[in-house]
């Protein structure tokens, strides 16, 4: 996913505010899910939500106003209960890494109850994605 840094994304020091990175990481995860055929509104309508339960972000450097970024997202682990997205935010021009992140999500119903196993629509999509990455 491509992302340009706008003035509203920066803090008083002229660098990207740390929360902006989290917003971009979430957008990139949503885009990957959509590319896998998972529509979050359809999931919600089918009593499925995907909350983040673990967020490990390593800030390597600061992006600045007008930087053009690339956000890379892949699924690196799926165990039937949770899925791990590994993400990088890099400069589109220099490939310098600004952020490395590993984010775990689980499936819950709309009342907040954890599914003991991922619903089949998710399990099938995540298993396909992991197999696809392993064959590369």
Which residues have C-beta within 8 Å of that of residue 97, sequence separation ≥ 6? 60, 61, 88, 89, 90
Strand segments, DSSP code E, in 1-136 are 2-4, 52-59, 68-78, 82-91, 97-106
Our answer to whether residue 47 is catalytic in this structure is no
Q: Give the C-alpha separation, 78 to 84, whole Å.
A: 6
Two tokens at 100?
A: 């490395």
Q: 3-state SS of 22-45?
A: HHHHHHHHHHHHHHCCCCHHHHHH
Q: Which of 11, 102, 104, 124 is catalytic?
A: 11
Q: Where in the sequence numbering do the catalytic residues fall? A: 11
């Amino acid at each position: 996913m491509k992302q340009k840094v706008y003035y509203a994304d920066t803090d008083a020091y002229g660098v990207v505010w740390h929360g902006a990175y989290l917003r971009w990481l979430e957008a990139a995860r949503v885009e990957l899910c959509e590319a896998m055929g998972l529509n979050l509104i359809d999931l919600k309508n089918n009593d499925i939500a995907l909350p983040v339960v673990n967020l490990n972000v390593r800030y390597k450097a600061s992006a600045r106003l007008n930087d053009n970024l690339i956000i890379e997202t892949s699924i690196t682990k799926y165990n039937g209960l949770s899925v791990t997205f590994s993400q990088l935010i890099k400069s589109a021009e220099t490939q310098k890494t600004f952020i490395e992140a590993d984010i775990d999500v689980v499936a819950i119903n709309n009342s907040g109850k954890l599914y003991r196993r991922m619903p089949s629509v998710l399990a099938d999509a995540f298993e396909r994605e992991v197999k696809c990455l392993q064959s590369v």
